[in-house]
Amino acid sequence: MSTQKETLGFQTEVKQLLHLMIHSLYSNKEIFLRELVSNASDAADKLRFEAIAAPDLLGDDPELRIRISADAEARTLTISDNGIGMSREEVIENIGTIAKSGTRAFLDSLSGDARKDANLIGQFGVGFYSGFIVADKITLTTRRAGAAEAVRWESQGEGEYTLEAVDKAGRGTEIVLHLKEGEDEFLGDWRLRQIVHTYSDHISVPIEMKAAAKEDGEEPAFEAVNQASALWTRAKSDISDEQYREFYKHVAHDFSDPLAWTHARVEGRQEYTELLYLPSRAPFDLYERERKQGVKLYVRRVFIMEDTEKLMPHYLRFVRGVIDSSDLPLNVSREILQQSRDIDAIRAGCVKKVLALLEDLAANDAEKYTTFWNTFGQVLKEGVGEDFANKDRIAALLRFASSTVESDAATVSLADYVGRMKEGQEKIYYITAETLSAARNSPHLEIFKKKGVEVLLLTDRVDEWVTASLTEFDGKALVSVAKGALDLGSLEDDADKKAQEAAEEASRPLVKRIRDALGDKVAEVRATARLTDSPACLVVGENDMSTHLERMLKSVGQSVDAVKPTLEINPGHLLVKRLADEQDENRATALAQVLFDQALLAEGGKLDDPATFVKRINALMLELSV
């Protein structure tokens, strides 16, 4: 059966992608075969799963396989499988279209020398299109399991493709690559076997190629050229580091080596094997909450599902790998929707394994842990508020910039901070800000710098969530230096206290003057000893929302009640003294307004009326210069 061809156009971004695939030179062309074999393996996994509920899908062809064959005369390379196959609609969705966010991010990454970086193909999940690296035309024929009709897709990668209904003897997908001139190496049997051994030996589906030609002229049979056993089921002593790395690249669709991994068989009430990896770089969709890719669940080597949220908490969504249970029923996917206790137990056990792996890296391989932290630190921080049971372990893994560490690239742990606290120091001090520069230069740090007290500098958006959930570490309270009245505890000697009391008493008239000038802009005005170089700063109440969090929420359209700050003044600063001595009330009011606006700007805030602020500054400079 055959029907008239239908010609369809790729979406605009796919056209750009295909153009880059065809006309860019990649340093590692062989990756196309690895991607197509991995896709065929996924198709076999999906059929195994669907066949649990519908065994008839396997028909009279229950043995799953992938076949690779080359035709030197026709200059074609064929990769076929008897997996799940695709319907016409699935072909259009999976081949004719790519998720716009993924394609856009991929294209944005292909700039300059990066256009020769084949690693990007795996990172952005566009492996099928890598076939155009070596082919000037691709023909895909597929028949979905259980369907009578097949569909043929064909394209030369020039902006459009054709679709037609055709006959196909069995289910599955056949991809024929019409190789470009100069790509003869991929027609050689030895070269193809080498690529399979390098990249796909671990795939549990047999990858078959024709054996050597027989002397009697009989057609050689197909034979498996990979081990075709699930790597995670082997003993760790039988698996090399290179095999672990190659399996990661298969299961994660990533071309980079993993950072680290943990492989264990767990026995007890629940028996399962876990092989979990930490990637060395983030996927483009790391912050998309609806993403499903992550850890794959198998039951007795039958693929069940791939869903990070069900198998890993959201803050560990970067973890890749497999979990294979011996005890779960094969219809577990339906139970998961009803919250399976068995799955919860497996999930909890795997979380502990991942945290232990991170703890080992942090303790024994600082360079790798730094790579992990720079890549996934903001995601891990989410766990402080999400995972109460492991909050303390997660907190110990956190890293922050510090006021006593000059390099912006260097970070410290909470344990580091506690270990070098000043004698008599009882609290862990921190400040939140939009940038490291703003945090380092904040007026709130001045007294801490004077006394040599370390302050953690928190500049990630998630840090406000962290500090709301993590109130103490190792028995030490976490305290914001921009909230509440200054309380240095025993770090403040009697002389400091007496000086503060004297300043407050002497400043009462000035405080009232500024309070009257600012009106309802502030909740309070008070003299403070926390400032040494700046004339003033803004603080909020101990239990109030920080001004940094307020700005973040407003920036994303959230409606929040503004918190009135307290203006703290430095009585010893020349500008404050000038205000105290000012006889002209209008000028005094202008100075008070400037003090408030400067304090707001110093902490990263925005002025409601910048033009008026500039006018006040100009007028004061002109008047004071006379």
Give me the residue spans of the domains in the chain.
Answer: 6-227, 232-370, 399-490, 491-625
Which comes out higher in pLDDT, residue 515 or 215?
515
**How far is Cα 319 from Cα 352, in angstroms, rounded to an integer?**
13
**Closest by alpha carbon to 135, among 4, 35, 3?**
35
Mean pLDDT of 531-552: 83
pLDDT of residue 114: 44
Give CA–CA dist 549/567, Å, rounded: 18
pLDDT of 49 above 80: yes
Residue 102 is predicted with a pLDDT of 46
Which residues on adjacent β-strands are paired with residue 261? 277
**Which pLDDT band, with edges at 50, 70 and 90, does 416 fall under?**
very high
Handedness of CA 480, 485, 489, 495 (dihedral sign): positive
Check whether 48 has a pLDDT greater than 70.
Answer: yes
Q: How is domain 399-490 classified at the architecture level of CATH?
A: 3-Layer(aba) Sandwich (3.40)
Fold for 6-227, please state it.
Heat Shock Protein 90 (3.30.565)
Query: pTM to 2 decimals?
Result: 0.72
SS3 sequence of 52-116:
HHCHHHHCCCCCCCEEEEEECCCCEEEEEECCCCCCHHHHHHHCCCCCHHHHHHHHHHCCHHHHH
Q: What is the arithmetic mean of pLDDT over 189-211?
A: 87
Confidence (pLDDT) at 579: 92
The answer, yes or no, to whether residue 202 has pLDDT greater than 80, is no
3-state SS assignment for residue 46: helix
pLDDT number for residue 289: 60
Average pLDDT over residues 192-198: 88
- pLDDT at residue 210 is higher than 50: yes
Tell me which of 288 and 470 has the higher pLDDT. Answer: 470
Instruction: Report the chain's C-alpha Rg in angstroms.
Output: 32
Residues 458-498 pLDDT 10s = 999 899 889 999 999 999 999 999 888 777 777 777 777 78
Share of the chain above pLDDT 70, in %: 87
Q: With 50 as the cut, is the pLDDT of residue 25 above it?
A: no
Report the CATH fold assignment for 491-625. Four Helix Bundle (Hemerythrin (Met), subunit A) (1.20.120)
pLDDT at 518: 94
Please report the pLDDT score of residue 118 as a whole number: 41
Token pair, residue 309, equals 């949220």
How far from 436 is each of 34, 372, 457, 464, 466, CA to CA, in Å?
43, 20, 7, 15, 17
60 burial level (CB within 10 Å; 0-12, 13-18, 19+): exposed
- What's the CATH architecture for 232-370? 2-Layer Sandwich (3.30)
Question: Per-residue pLDDT tens for 217-245?
Answer: 677 888 999 887 788 988 999 999 999 99
